[in-house]
């Protein structure tokens, strides 16, 4: 009897143990396994991704945070048309929509900016979190929030927007309908705050504005020497460019900023340390060559005589896209365009009177300071004649599946210390200063004319942007708003002295920043080229840091200046143009260098392909492959021997690698090839003489050899689309959720830009054309929903790929279409 009871106790204990083990695993997961119970529960787990993919139907939804009912109608592509009776309810509805369709994306963006990625993805994100904690986007956002007056429209908009987001978070959490990635990662989003929105603004500023130029220069000066560095990477470009504001210019002194030559071994060590850290950061942490186009015409340039505008911001092309398209009407607002999930207003679009779009100014906005420190004064730095204590901030970074990391951030008057290895190096970044961007955007959206538009941008500080403008009265303009830091002394393109003598003393006054209005040419355009000519009296950056090589701007200038009576179709042709402007300049020189040279049959065939080529980097063009491979080889053959001889540390800093798209390499080689073919740079460091023609011939031979090895012996089959691709990766870096690579046309400086290398993952993230009196249209490579099963996940990609557009309709037009489900949100 006792044995039987003993066995039953043992059985009970085993059952208890097994039950507890399974329950624990199901409730908490283990290692990489998520909590299995909540994750796979068919009622509220990952399976809800299927029901969440349904397109909206007409229904009434309860939204307790509203004051009045709001109507949201969807068109067949998912664009949302909001009709609200109060401005507050409009911003609430935008928040509601963003959260309904992009909540995980929003949470990911705020986590990146707030240094909280490790909390949900583990130690892999620690380098990013530490960097963001140091840089201080969250600190800036908190300061911006504190500085907003209680009654400011921006504050009201942020509060209403947050409430809209939180209505969705609360409801979807309660019903188990949160996006699937929350479930797989095993966490629930915390409620949204206005500071979160300002952090998202900060992350965008960082992507567009934070650069490592002075660190790159420091490494080059250390290896190549100051003279050679400044000769090959000068402040002003050596080639002929097309600034949009050709002057004349006035020097109007320096306006205050609201807020606070040579490289030593210690500095170089510190620079190397910081550069090493940057290598482990996500792609969006630094500016990585994602650029943009915009232009406008009026008068005889337009078929109708009315103003026309085009804009295509080039950003990382991800799924879901950075953009969410909305159209809205409320008592104070009537607009249509694209918004960034997390921000309560469109960035690009039009209202009833004006249209606008953005490109990056690319001026230098990041300065590095070598702080003077001493073991005799621990925790202090020398500034303006005295030792001052560094401000110390202690942060704790929670880490999933690991212990929390404690981080200490030291701040000087210039900004956060990035390293103390060798030399104490701090960073002074314009994006760390409060910038009332939302207030500016609200002003733009309500503007009726250029005066109001220009006035709205007065306080836009970062990221500095070229705002193109066209209104319904036939006026056009362009203004490069933002901070342009001016230093007291020193070379701002190198790390500066932190003792106070090389501090930022102000910015270019707003009236003197690059701008034009109704120019006699009837056209304005920007494509990240240097906005002003060489006579501009202020320093705004060098060729390296970080204006583009200007070939997109040259192509746009060429197109607009040679066309009159343009239509939307002309603008679409230009936006989708894959013509390589540089090829048009250099290929004739190459053909000339090859003339009367002994060539093999294969080389002759390649030469003939180039001779009959129009410069179009079409996916089906063999000449395009030959040109690009040639230019890459020509660059490497010219600069490579010097890089090798002077040990330029390309392994440490990949920015220093010789590659197309690094503006000064292209500009130098273009200028030398066209007008200085015996430039000493063509010689070898050993002293052996070479000319441009000789280097070109050698590069051409290598090109044929390279392409033969890669694509076979027949040059006619060396199609560009076989070696050049586009892909749209998933924002969460999950390969199956991305759009796989396909052979594609374009290159880094065609108007239809393909940034990011031979598998391009950046480029036109939104294409928009507005023709006053005719209509407006737009498209982006993605879809409105982040749910990978939704028909709106990537539905716009085929149209984008084929150069098509969708009309930007009014709500009334959408309601007349057969498909127009409407949500009625009721308080």
Residues that bind other proteins (CB under 8 A): 1, 4-5, 8-9, 11-12, 14-16, 18-19, 21-23, 26-27, 36-38, 40-47, 49-51, 53-54, 176, 180-181, 184, 732, 734-737, 788-789
User: Closest approach of Cβ 54 to other proteins, in Å?
Assistant: 8
Identify which of residues 37 and 56 has a Cβ nearer to other proteins in the complex.
Answer: 37
Residue partners of 734: CB distance under 8 A and separation at least 6 = none
What are the Cα distances from residue 162, in Å, to 104, 114, 321, 823?
15, 17, 21, 20
Identify which of residues 20 and 812 has a Cβ nearer to other proteins in the complex.
Answer: 20
CA atoms within 13 A on the CB side of 221: 22
- Edge-first strand listing for the sheet containing 333-339: 59-62, 822-826, 70-74, 80-83, 324-330, 333-339, 346-350, 354-360, 465-471, 476-481, 515-517
Helix (H) or strand (E) holding 111, with range, is helix 87-114
Assess contact for 661 and 748: CB atoms under 8 A: yes
Identify which of residues 14 and 265 has a Cβ nearer to other proteins in the complex.
Answer: 14
User: Closest approach of Cβ 799 to other proteins, in Å?
Assistant: 22
User: Closest approach of Cβ 186 to other proteins, in Å?
Assistant: 12
| DSSP string for residues in 218-251 | HHHHHHH-HHHHHHHS-SS-SS----SB------
User: Closest approach of Cβ 682 to other proteins, in Å?
Assistant: 50
User: Closest approach of Cβ 49 to other proteins, in Å?
Assistant: 5
Can you tell me which residue has the tokens 């620690």? 126
User: Closest approach of Cβ 22 to other proteins, in Å?
Assistant: 5
User: Closest approach of Cβ 401 to other proteins, in Å?
Assistant: 16
CA-nearest of 721, 811, 724, 718 to 760 is 724
User: Closest approach of Cβ 720 to other proteins, in Å?
Assistant: 29
Can you tell me which residue has the tokens 């090895």? 709
**336 dihedral zone (left: phi>0; alpha: psi -120 to 50; beta):** beta
User: Closest approach of Cβ 737 to other proteins, in Å?
Assistant: 6
User: Closest approach of Cβ 129 to other proteins, in Å?
Assistant: 22
User: Closest approach of Cβ 18 to other proteins, in Å?
Assistant: 5
Alpha helices for 292-387 (secondary structure H): none
User: Closest approach of Cβ 97 to other proteins, in Å?
Assistant: 23
Assess contact for 346 and 338: CB atoms under 8 A: yes
Identify which of residues 176 and 305 has a Cβ nearer to other proteins in the complex.
Answer: 176
User: Closest approach of Cβ 782 to other proteins, in Å?
Assistant: 16
Identify which of residues 151 and 735 has a Cβ nearer to other proteins in the complex.
Answer: 735
Strands 496-497 and 366-371: parallel
User: Closest approach of Cβ 117 to other proteins, in Å?
Assistant: 17
| DSSP string for residues in 698-724 | HHHHHHHHHHHHHH-S-GGG--HHHH-
User: Closest approach of Cβ 29 to other proteins, in Å?
Assistant: 12
Q: Is 337 helix (H, G, I), strand (E, B) or coil?
A: strand
| DSSP string for residues in 728-780 | E-BTT--GGGSEEEEE----TTSSS--BSSSEE-EEES-EEEEETTTEEEEE-
Identify which of residues 207 and 790 has a Cβ nearer to other proteins in the complex.
Answer: 790
Identify which of residues 52 and 311 has a Cβ nearer to other proteins in the complex.
Answer: 52
Identify which of residues 611 and 789 has a Cβ nearer to other proteins in the complex.
Answer: 789
Identify which of residues 374 and 733 has a Cβ nearer to other proteins in the complex.
Answer: 733
Taken in order 233, 235, 239, 242, is the CA torsion positive or negative? positive
User: Closest approach of Cβ 75 to other proteins, in Å?
Assistant: 22
Helix (H) or strand (E) holding 72, with range, is strand 70-74
What are the Cα distances from residue 354, in Å, to 351, 474, 586, 781?
6, 10, 40, 25
Number of neighbours of residue 600 by Cβ within 10 angstroms: 10
Identify which of residues 96 and 182 has a Cβ nearer to other proteins in the complex.
Answer: 182
d(CA 158, CA 342): 10
Task: Please provide residue 579's backbone torsions phi and psi, each rounded to the nearest 5 degrees.
Answer: -80, 130
Identify which of residues 176 and 716 has a Cβ nearer to other proteins in the complex.
Answer: 176
Identify which of residues 47 and 801 has a Cβ nearer to other proteins in the complex.
Answer: 47
What are the Cα distances from residue 142, in Å, to 31, 116, 137?
35, 16, 9
d(CA 796, CA 132): 33
* Rg of the chain (C-alpha set): 28
Can you tell me which residue has the tokens 């963003």? 98
Q: What's the maximum distance between 2 C-alpha atoms anywhere in the chain?
A: 109
CA-nearest of 339, 350, 347 to 98 is 339
User: Closest approach of Cβ 647 to other proteins, in Å?
Assistant: 41
Helix (H) or strand (E) holding 13, with range, is helix 2-28
User: Closest approach of Cβ 112 to other proteins, in Å?
Assistant: 19
Identify which of residues 3 and 596 has a Cβ nearer to other proteins in the complex.
Answer: 3
Identify which of residues 177 and 804 has a Cβ nearer to other proteins in the complex.
Answer: 177
Identify which of residues 562 and 736 has a Cβ nearer to other proteins in the complex.
Answer: 736
Identify which of residues 180 and 348 has a Cβ nearer to other proteins in the complex.
Answer: 180
Identify which of residues 10 and 611 has a Cβ nearer to other proteins in the complex.
Answer: 10
d(CA 132, CA 278): 11
Identify which of residues 51 and 534 has a Cβ nearer to other proteins in the complex.
Answer: 51
Angle, CA of 525, 531 and 536, to the nearest 5°: 140
């Amino acid at each position: 009897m006792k044995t039987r009871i003993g066995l039953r106790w043992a059985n009970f204990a085993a059952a208890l143990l097994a039950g507890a083990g399974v329950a624990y695993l199901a409730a908490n997961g283990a290692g990489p396994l998520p909590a299995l119970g909540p994750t796979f529960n068919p009622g509220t787990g990952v399976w809800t991704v299927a029901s969440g993919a349904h397109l909206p139907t007409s229904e009434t939804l309860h939204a307790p945070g509203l004051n009045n009912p709001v109507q949201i109608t969807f068109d067949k592509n998912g664009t949302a048309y909001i009709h609200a009776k109060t401005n507050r309810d409009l911003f609430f509805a935008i928040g509601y929509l963003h959260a309904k369709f992009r909540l995980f994306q929003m949470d990911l963006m705020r986590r990146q900016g707030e240094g909280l990625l490790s909390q949900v993805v583990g130690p892999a994100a620690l380098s990013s979190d530490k960097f963001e904690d140091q840089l201080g986007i969250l600190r800036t956002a908190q300061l911006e929030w504190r500085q907003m007056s209680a009654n400011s429209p921006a504050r009201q908009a942020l509060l209403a927007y947050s409430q809209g987001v939180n209505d969705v978070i609360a409801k979807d959490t309660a019903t188990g309908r949160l996006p699937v990635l929350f479930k797989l990662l095993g966490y629930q989003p915390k409620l949204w705050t206005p500071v979160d929105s300002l952090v998202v603004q900060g992350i965008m500023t960082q992507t567009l504005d934070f650069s490592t130029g002075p660190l790159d220069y420091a490494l080059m000066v250390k290896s190549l020497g100051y003279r050679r560095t400044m000769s090959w990477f000068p402040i002003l470009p050596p080639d002929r460019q097309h600034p949009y504001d050709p002057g004349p210019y006035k020097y109007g002194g320096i306006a205050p900023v609201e807020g606070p030559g040579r490289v030593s071994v210690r500095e170089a060590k510190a620079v190397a340390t910081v550069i090493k850290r940057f290598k482990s950061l996500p792609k969006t942490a630094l500016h990585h060559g994602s650029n943009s186009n915009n232009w406008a015409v009026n008068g005889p340039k337009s078929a109708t005589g009315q103003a026309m505008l085009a804009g295509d911001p080039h950003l990382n092309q991800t799924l879901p896209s950075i953009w969410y398209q909305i159209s809205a009407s409320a008592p104070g607002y009537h607009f249509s365009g694209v918004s960034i999930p997390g921000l309560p207003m469109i960035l690009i679009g039009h209202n009833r009177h004006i249209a606008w779009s953005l490109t990056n100014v690319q001026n230098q906005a990041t300065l590095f300071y070598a702080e003077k420190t001493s073991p005799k004064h621990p925790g202090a730095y020398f500034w303006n004649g005295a030792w001052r204590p560094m401000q110390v901030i202690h942060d704790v970074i929670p880490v999933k599946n690991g212990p929390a990391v404690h981080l200490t951030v030291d701040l000087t008057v210039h900004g956060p210390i990035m390293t103390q290895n060798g030399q104490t190096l701090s960073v002074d970044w314009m994006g760390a200063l409060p910038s009332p961007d939302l207030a500016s955007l609200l002003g733009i959206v309500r503007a009726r004319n250029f005066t109001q538009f220009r006035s709205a941008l007065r306080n836009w500080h970062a990221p500095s942007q070229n705002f193109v403008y066209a209104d319904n009265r036939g006026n056009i303009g362009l203004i490069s708003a933002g901070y342009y830091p001016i230093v007291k002394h020193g070379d701002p393109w190198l790390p500066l002295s932190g003792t106070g003598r090389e501090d930022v003393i102000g910015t270019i006054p707003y009236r003197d920043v690059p701008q034009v209005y109704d120019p006699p040419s009837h056209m304005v355009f920007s494509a990240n080229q240097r906005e002003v000519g060489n006579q501009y009296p202020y320093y705004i950056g060098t060729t390296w840091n970080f204006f583009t090589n200007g070939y997109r701007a040259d192509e746009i200038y060429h197109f607009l200046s040679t066309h009159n009576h343009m239509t939307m179709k002309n603008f679409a042709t230009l936006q989708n143009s894959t013509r390589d402007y540089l090829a048009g300049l250099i290929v004739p020189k190459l053909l000339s260098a090859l003339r009367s040279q002994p060539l093999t049959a294969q080389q002759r065939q390649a030469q003939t392909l180039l001779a009959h080529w129009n410069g179009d980097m079409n996916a089906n063009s063999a000449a395009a492959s030959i040109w690009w491979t040639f230019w890459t080889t020509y660059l490497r053959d010219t600069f490579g021997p010097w890089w090798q001889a002077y040990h330029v540390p390309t392994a440490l800093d990949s920015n220093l690698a010789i590659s197309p798209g690094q503006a000064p390499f292209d500009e130098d080689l273009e200028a030398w090839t066209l007008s200085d073919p015996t430039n000493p740079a063509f010689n070898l460091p050993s002293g052996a003489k070479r000319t441009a023609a000789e280097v070109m011939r050698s590069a051409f031979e290598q090109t044929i050899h390279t392409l033969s090895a890669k694509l076979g012996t027949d040059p006619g089959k060396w199609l560009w689309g076989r070696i050049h691709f586009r892909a749209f990766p998933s924002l969460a870096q999950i390969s199956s959720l991305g759009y796989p690579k396909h052979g594609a046309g374009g290159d880094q400086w065609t108007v239809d830009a393909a940034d990011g290398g031979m598998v391009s993952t950046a480029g036109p993230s939104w294409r928009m054309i507005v023709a006053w009196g005719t209509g407006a249209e737009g498209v982006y490579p993605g879809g409105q929903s982040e749910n990978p099963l939704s028909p709106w996940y990537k539905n716009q990609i085929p149209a984008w790929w084929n150069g098509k557009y969708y009309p930007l309709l009014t709500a009334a037009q959408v309601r007349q279409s057969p498909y127009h489900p409407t949500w009625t949100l009721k308080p």
